[in-house]
Structure 1
Amino acid sequence: MIPRPLALAAAVAIGLAGVAAGHADSGTAGAPVLNPAQSQFLLRCGGCHGTTGLSPPKSVPVLRGRAGWFLCTPEGREYIVRVPNVARALLDDARLAAVLNFVAFDLGEGSAPHGAEPFTGEEVRAIRARPLTDVPLLAHRRQVVNDLIRRCGAPKDLLVYGGAG
């Protein structure tokens, strides 16, 4: 029997192989090569959001093909930084910005609007100082997503999450 942590690590590494395929070094064919942002996503987010951004839709938000929509409005952009688990992540501002950029632009698979700017460490520092701890999170998310649907043409299935739809 494989120890549980070892089995989890193996499953996660196999799952990320698809994400890392485009970044694989020809000298390590077949082995996933992760950049630091991908590694941090895997370690800090992949357990719930899925190693490739695909999670059970009503447990936590699916990120693959969707996360970039949040960059369409200032409120959406702030929302993804202010989510408590993001705002309080044990990463410095620059590393957190890199993870957010990986999520929005890579896992987001073209869902970010044309011309969307990547997050910077300075921007993340300013936004994460105000985590969303004083509002009902699901209601706030629903409001942000409805605005994305109305103003940006985001798909309605972006609402599907923990009864928020």
Structure 2
Amino acid sequence: MRLAALAFLLCLGASAALASPRTDYMLRCMGCHLPDGAETPGKVPPLKDHVARFLSIDGGRAYLVQVPGTRQSVLSDKAVADLLNWLVTHFDAAHMPESFAPYSEVEVRELRSHHLKDAAGERARLIERME
């Protein structure tokens, strides 16, 4: 019995050690956003060379947390914060504003509590402001 409990605890520790934003992206996001963050025209918007631009406009930072795939994710608020920070630095560091402050667990928790009624419409409005 003790051996089984020890094995279980070791497995839990190993899975926690494997958890990383990159792993979370591969398991939770890559199916739609593709390995390189490219878009699927007409279906999935790009992350690559695009995602950090949202951080430069009012409402863009909240939008990245409130899109359905992020807001409804089973990931913890801390894991979502880590994932978003990884996304913007990994896929679009060139467009990261100098004033960028990493997402925090508390900020993500607060932003996830708000439902975005029209994600596609909000995205279009934000992109219009970028241009």
Q: TM-score, normalised by structure 2?
A: 0.80
Structure 1: runs of 5+ lacking an equivalent: 1-33, 150-165
Letter in 1 for 2:93: E
More helix by share: 2
Name the SS for the 2:55 alignment partner. helix
Q: Which residue of 1 aligns with 2:127?
A: 145
Q: Which runs of 4+ in 1 moved over 3 A?
A: none
Higher relative contact order (CA 8 A, sep 6+): 2
Residue 85 (structure 2) pairs with residue 101 (structure 1): yes
Q: CA deviation at 1:35?
A: 6.8
Structure 2: runs of 5+ lacking an equivalent: 1-17
CA contact (8 A) 1:68 1:111 kept: yes
Letter in 1 for 2:121: A
Q: Deviations over 1:16-73 (max 9, x none)?
A: xxxxxxxxxxxxxxxxxx8700000111000000112113232201111111011112
The 5-angstrom pairing of residues 52-131 of structure 1 reads 52-131=36-115
Q: CA RMSD in A?
A: 1.6
Give the % identical residues: 29
- The count of corresponding residues between Structure 1 and Structure 2 is 114
Q: TM-score, normalised by structure 1?
A: 0.64
Q: CA deviation at 1:118?
A: 1.0
The 5-angstrom pairing of residues 30-69 of structure 1 reads 36-69=20-53
